[in-house]
Amino acid sequence: MRTIITTINSGSYTSGLSDISRCEMQKKLRLLLVILLSSCAFIPAYVSAAPATGPGSGFIVVASAPATDFYTATQVGTAPFRVSFFDRSEGTLPLGYIWNFGDGTTSREKNPTHIFATNGKYSVSLTVTNSFGQDTKSLKEFIAVGDPPVPDFSASPSQGNIPLAVAFMGMTNGTIRSWKWDFGDGSFASVQNPTHTYTKPGIYTVTLSAANEFGMENITKSGMINTGVVPDAEFIAEIRQGYPPLTVRFRDFSSGSPLAWFWDFGDGTTSTEKDPLHTYTKEGKYTTTLQVANAFGSDSLTRSNHISVGNPVPPLTPTSPEVVAPLPDESQSGGIISLIREAKGTTEKNLPTSGFIPPQFMALAAVLTSFAVVFINLLISTIGTHSQFAPKVAKFLADLAGGHGVEKLSAAEVEKRGIALYQRERLFLGLSAIEIIVIEVAVIMVAIAFILADRAELTLQTVLTYILVGAISVLLHDFAHRYFATRHGHDADTQFWGLGTIIMFLTAWLYGNAFAQSYRNLVNRQGEAEPHELGIEMVAGPCVSIVLMVLFLSISQLGGPWAIAGGVGFSINLITAVYSLMPIETMDGGAVWKWNRAVYLILFLPMIAFYFFTYMIV
């Protein structure tokens, strides 16, 4: 066997003839390993080396100079104003930044945050550089720092009688973008110097808001505008005649919200109280004067011979040819108009409708409201009766609208309306236990409604007076109907009337005039009633109310508690008589009209005229 010795890089390998192929393979592997190691050493060095850009370098380089751009989320504010700037420049990296904020400060950050400490408008620039050039972007007055406005205003005049036209002048610093006025009465304006007219009495708070680019501020002046009316003097004396010493309580009923009072009692004494108490010690007739005033003016009222003390004998012949019988005007101590005025009380009340309905039209508004509610209820009940979807509701509404007085309901009508009429055991004065309860409740409802209408002071004496007078008025009106119905052989049943009670309280609250009733009397008739019988039964109630009205008016001049009771009874019976005589089928007047139109007109026309005369003219 032959031996071959091969030397490579001082390393020797000995192999037989069968190992020749393996040696060749090792050579190739070693050569491949050397090539790979050489590649790994040269490639990173080549990549990290800066490209040669000079002539003849042998490389082609693609790059760009910077294009500067930036933005910020906020440009307007108040000092100290913190602003964050954001770069969005383009160009070959790396890039260098130089910011100039326009207030003498700079920054080399990419996205700096800067605080502007003083007011002003600042131009901001950014310069961006790289190996291929630089670019600068400047924005003139890019940042604005300032203060919101400090508004103020004046008004002229700030006080006066309505309607009051007020000229407002808005004032503030700097340039204003928008104005907004709130005049305190639900009205607004958006000009700098508006003129506004106030139409209702009151004290108004005014607010002015002003806005500029830095924000909005407002100023509010409470009680800035004071509007009102000159007061209208009015008063009564609870006692007007008697023997000395005669103590008289005077009560002020002036309108227009007076703030000061001056009374002259005619005997050399005066008072500045609102409702003074004065004692006359000598006989004679005294002229009383009341002067009232507020910020808008003054007014006075004088009543000649208003208080009579003692019983001096008048001379048989006039002492002067100039003395003539005066007309019965309101200045006379015994004049009917003065008596009615004192009986009905004041029309100047704190009512929710006072702002848009004059006091003299409250009575008319009460009448119209009462009829509107009854009419709507009757209309709904009539429609509902023919509806197959609401029979129970129709029956309930028809029952409410069925009437209020002895009315007038025949057997067919009672059956048609579904009104229950019961035969009850009569316990007291022909009344059943339930009827006594109904009448008691009705009396209390009437008393409360008229206390509400008069805005009367809630004292025990006042409440008892209203209840007693209401009981007399309700019972006698009811018994008048019942008496004639019984004489004609019919049975009567007193029931509570829900709709009438609602109307009574509604008109009392809104208008100070309780124009309705809280109960009704139903008569059980066999067959159709004769118009003559029905008319007499119906006219009895209003006639009794008219008589009671006259009686209560006459006792109102007695003074003291009698004056209060007389005034309450006068109002209750006047409204009851007028309301009962209204020409509506469910009221007394409808039956009286069918029976005898002459009788109806003789009663109704004077009463409705007297009602409006009392509450709208006197």
Instruction: Give the per-residue pLDDT at 307.
Output: 94
Q: Could you tell me the residue range of the domain that residue 186 belongs to?
A: 152-228
pLDDT-derived band at 58, boundaries 50, 70, 90 = low
Instruction: Give the per-residue pLDDT at 391.
Output: 56
User: Do residues 256 and 393 share a domain?
Assistant: no
Q: Above 60 in pLDDT, residue 403?
A: no
User: Do residues 417 and 535 share a domain?
Assistant: yes
User: Do residues 210 and 257 share a domain?
Assistant: no
Instruction: Give the per-residue pLDDT at 273.
Output: 95
pLDDT-derived band at 442, boundaries 50, 70, 90 = confident
HSE of 227, CA atoms in CB hemisphere, 13 A = 21
Residue 482 lies in a domain: yes
Mean pLDDT over each residue of the chain, to the nearest integer: 78
Residue 603 lies in a domain: yes
Instruction: Give the per-residue pLDDT at 376.
Output: 80
DSSP 212-243: ETTEEEEEEEEEEEEEE---B--EEES--EES
User: Do residues 553 and 456 share a domain?
Assistant: yes
Residue 317 lies in a domain: no
- Mean per-residue pLDDT for 268-293? 94
Residue 514 identity = A
CATH number at residue 134: 2.60.40.10
User: Do residues 240 and 386 share a domain?
Assistant: no
Instruction: Give the per-residue pLDDT at 314.
Output: 47
Residue 338 lies in a domain: yes
In terms of Cα–Cα distance, which of 591, 615, 602 is closest to 541?
A: 591
Q: Above 90 in pLDDT, residue 274?
A: yes
* Cβ atoms of residues 435 and 423 within 8 Å: no
Render pLDDT for 322-366 as a digit per residue (tens, 0 to 9).
434 444 443 344 467 777 877 776 665 667 876 678 777 887 888
How far apart CA 142 and CA 87 sit, in angstroms, is 15
Could you say which of 94, 116, 145 is where a domain stops? 145
Give the total number of structural domains in the chain.
Answer: 5
User: Do residues 336 and 365 share a domain?
Assistant: no
pLDDT-derived band at 499, boundaries 50, 70, 90 = confident
- Mean per-residue pLDDT for 137-155? 93
User: Do residues 112 and 243 share a domain?
Assistant: no
How far apart CA 563 and CA 461 sit, in angstroms, is 13
Could you say which of 211, 228, 245 is where a domain stops? 228
HSE of 436, CA atoms in CB hemisphere, 13 A = 10
Q: Above 50 in pLDDT, residue 375?
A: yes
How far apart CA 471 and CA 450 sit, in angstroms, is 13
Lowest-pLDDT choice from 127-141, 311-325, 484-498: 311-325
DSSP 525-579: -SSPPPHHHHHHHHHHHHHHHHHHHHHHHHHGGG-HHHHHHHHHHHHHHHHHHHH
Q: Above 50 in pLDDT, residue 317?
A: no
pLDDT-derived band at 308, boundaries 50, 70, 90 = very high
Lowest-pLDDT choice from 67-76, 95-104, 336-345, 395-404: 395-404
* Cβ atoms of residues 185 and 162 within 8 Å: no
Residue 321 lies in a domain: no
Residue 348 lies in a domain: no
> What is the pTM assigned to this prediction?
0.44
DSSP code of residue 587: S
Beta bridge pairs of residue 496: 519
Instruction: Give the per-residue pLDDT at 153.
Output: 95
Instruction: Give the per-residue pLDDT at 1.
Output: 40
* Cβ atoms of residues 499 and 377 within 8 Å: yes
User: Do residues 88 and 199 share a domain?
Assistant: no
pLDDT-derived band at 14, boundaries 50, 70, 90 = very low
User: Do residues 157 and 264 share a domain?
Assistant: no
Residue 87 lies in a domain: yes
Secondary-structure breakdown of the chain: helix, strand, coil percentages, each rounded to the nearest 5: 35, 30, 35
Highest mean pLDDT, choosing among 261-265, 455-459, 580-584: 261-265
> In this predicted model, which residue has the larger pLDDT, 38 or 2?
38
Residue 60 lies in a domain: no
HSE of 96, CA atoms in CB hemisphere, 13 A = 7
Render pLDDT for 537-588 as a digit per residue (tens, 0 to 9).
888 888 998 999 999 888 887 777 788 888 888 888 888 888 888 776 556 7
Q: Above 70 in pLDDT, residue 50?
A: no
The residue assigned the tokens 């790396």 is 94
User: Do residues 279 and 371 share a domain?
Assistant: no
User: Do residues 265 and 367 share a domain?
Assistant: no
User: Do residues 458 and 541 share a domain?
Assistant: yes
* Phi, psi angle pair for 425, to nearest 5°: -70, 125
